[in-house]
Structure 1
């Protein structure tokens, strides 16, 4: 039992060793909080100022205990192709933590110090990082306890610029329901962007805290806002510290789901009943969203091509094979699969000349060492080409 419990700690230890050299410490001279405040900056492996690639930005409050855990999970998710690589900022809280995030208990409103810290995050931290590093438009903000309550206030911004709000073990005011109503979340429907709001409840909390979170989650679950994704989570554990360790990967798994390859769950829910035309549009939009939100031009994963291949081939007599191939060439021009499906389309219509032309182009894109190259070349031979 002791060995099993130690494995996560050992993994986290080696993860920290692996990324520690990529962390930069920076001091921001502030017009809002104290005279200056230190932040940590994690730059992902491969980050290069000279390249055009951009990275999502994550602002992690309570950095003294959340930063390393978030970075460790982010590195793992990126390594497993479940999330894009991120630029991650850890924000040092005031020595007296209550100064930054403890709100007015009588009405739930910001204290003067809360407002200053909020403006520090908005106008100095985020502005500084976006001005000096290669960030994509997608911004996450992460907080625990009273910090989780503070970050909900970004929902009130007239032009929303935070994409994901990760509220871990949130300590909300008694007025959080009314505050949410005042934020008029329905206006997010009109914003051409994608938003996520994560909260977790836990049996490790007091009954009062559980009830407050439960009531908020129940109210949010009734929202039907296409662009605003509510993630209500419940973590069964006896420790609020354990809840932190579980909440971060669970939040990342949901928030970056659009980035991941099409899972069986996604296919069954969103794809399997689509027409060939709609399936092609779904796949194309998925990768356009990935590029826009996360700054990641992945081309297109072959597994995602194969995920909808059956729909394209078996429905409507394969008439959409041509558009399928063209879509793949548009998103992934170096892949031979686009030419393969176009060639297959022309072959089914007995236009052997055009079919052979595309099969040859596709084969020319392949590495001779690729085990699939021989099978691809058989198409060329079969149609009389050399």
Structure 2
């Protein structure tokens, strides 16, 4: 019994050290009722007081919140996406009225129109005013609610930056209206659509029709992703679609991978340092996040610059690393290599020596720097 209690206590301590789940009641003037919210704040939200976070709005939170929140926490832990605030709207049986649309024009009507305004005019401003948010929002829905989030595409500009539509139960004409609307949108839109081979037949067919049209749209500000999961049912596709959607929407955010290194960096004709700058500029532009450049990304681009013999690019990467991580020795190695290659051995030796008392970085050890400095001494008799 004591062992069981100890395990339970350890589990609770672990939970308290991870992401925070808040339960709130929100009175909506638009709906004239109170709605229950589940809100997951990122790990260390209270201590990272200068950090802002994207928002993920989850409809059907009665059953969608946990899979979305769990994937957000997991993927952000491994830096496959930024830490984000997940907001779940509890709907229960009210989901049918919440998603109501007019029988003539097929846009939100009655309770559906009120729910549409509740999300855009009340809920999102409330989250922005009470939490530290970045200007990037995603909406997630399943069947009825997956249909509903599409209506926000017709606002100008659209309310959300990203849409995760899982087996949508599309309103009439929407499979035609969405492809017609997308080209007119000037802002960047990320759109993920999913079905499964064992999905409800009518929903699978209309999803495939929508996909056939969306995949033909070719414009820079529309990022489209589609999955048809083999063997997935209407409900099991959700657990496969959510991580796929988040990974694809935030693909540019991830650290530079081995595949990216081999297939992109090593085949570049343009300066590698520009690739690094562009990556983080894109992260800031798209997601509103001013993140420091990761050590991993400095190492990947600098290694590529060495292999490609882009010495000026290596100098620029070393200079950026010195500004951002002055206590690490990687900038001394990169700048030392630059001076070696341009024929300034004395500067190279002193630069290598400058990293002796700094923190080691990955393969860049103090012994490596000493060996390089000593070799220059021997070769040139300094």
**Cα distance, 1:157–1:356 mapped onto 2, change above 3 Å:** farther
RCO comparison, higher one (Cα < 8 Å, 6+): 1
Q: How many residues align?
A: 367
SS in structure 1 at match of 2:252: coil
1:379 corresponds to 2:376: no
**Structure 1 pair 226–363 and aligned structure 2 pair: CA distance change class (3 A):** farther
- More displaced, 324-333 or 157-166? 324-333
Looking at structure 1, the residues matched to 229 and 100 of structure 2 have their Cα atoms a distance apart, in angstroms, of 24
Note closer, same or farther for the CA distance 1:227–1:269 as it changes in structure 2 (3 Å cut).
farther
Separation in 2, partners of 1:333, 1:148: 47
Per-residue deviation, 1:347: 1.6
Match 2:165 to one of 144, 164, 167: 167
Question: In structure 2, what is the Cα distance between the partners aligned to 1:270 and 1:246?
Answer: 28
Kindly indicate whether residue 243 of structure 2 is the aligned counterpart of residue 212 of structure 1.
no
**TM-score if structure 2 supplies the norm length?**
0.86
Contact 1:334 1:365 in 2 (8 A): yes
Contact 1:57 1:87 in 2 (8 A): yes
1:162–1:21 Cα change, 3 Å: closer
When structure 1 is superposed on structure 2, of 264-273 and 211-220 the one drifting more is: 264-273
What SS is found at the alignment partner of 1:362? coil
Distance 1:259 1:21, change over 3 A: closer
Which segment is superposed worse, 60-69 or 23-32? 23-32
1:304 aligned onto 2:301: no
Long gaps (5+) in structure 2? 1-10
- Measured after TM superposition, the shift of residue 329 of structure 1 is 3.6
Of the structure 1 ranges 35-44 and 58-67, higher mean CA displacement relative to structure 2 is found in 35-44
Find out whether 1:201 has 2:198 as its counterpart. no
Q: Quick check: 1:284 aligned with 2:277?
A: yes
Matched with 2:110 is: 112
How far off its partner does 1:267 sit? 4.0
Structure 1 counterpart of 2:3: none
What residue is the counterpart of 2:244 in the other structure?
250
Conservation of the 8 A alpha-carbon contact between 1:94 and 1:100: no
Which residue is equivalent to 1:339?
332
Residue 172 of structure 1, CA deviation: 0.9
With over 3 angstroms needed to count, the CA separation of the structure-2 counterparts of 1:21 and 1:381, relative to structure 1, is closer
What aligned pairs does 1:148-187 form with structure 2 within 5 A after superposition?
A: 148-183=146-181, 185-187=182-184
Structure 1 residue 67 corresponds to structure 2 residue 62:
no
Q: Does 1:55 align with 2:53?
A: yes
SS of residue in 2 equivalent to 1:171: coil
Q: Which of residues 355, 358, 377 in structure 2 aligns to 1:362?
A: 355
Matched residue, 1:11: none
Instruction: Give the distance between the partners of 1:368 and 1:208, measured in 2 at CA.
Output: 55
Name the SS for the 1:45 alignment partner.
Answer: coil
Q: Secondary structure at the match of 2:124?
A: helix
Over 3 Å counting, the alpha-carbon distance change for 1:112 and 1:369 in structure 2 is closer
Gaps of 5+ in 1: 1-13
SS in 1 for 2:247: helix
Query: Given that residues 176 and 210 in structure 2 are in contact (C-alpha distance below 8 angstroms), is that contact kept between their aligned partners in structure 1?
Result: no
| Aligned mates of 1:343, 1:154 — CA distance in 2 | 53
Among 136, 139, 145, the alignment partner of 2:137 is 139
Contact residue 330 and residue 364 of structure 2 kept, 8 A = no
RMSD over aligned Cα atoms:
2.9
Over 3 Å counting, the alpha-carbon distance change for 1:28 and 1:359 in structure 2 is same
SS state at 2:151 partner: helix
**Range moving further from structure 2, 138-147 or 172-181:** 172-181
C-alpha change, 1:340 and 1:371, in structure 2 (3 Å) is: closer
Whole-angstrom distance in 2 between the partners of 1:323 and 1:252 = 32
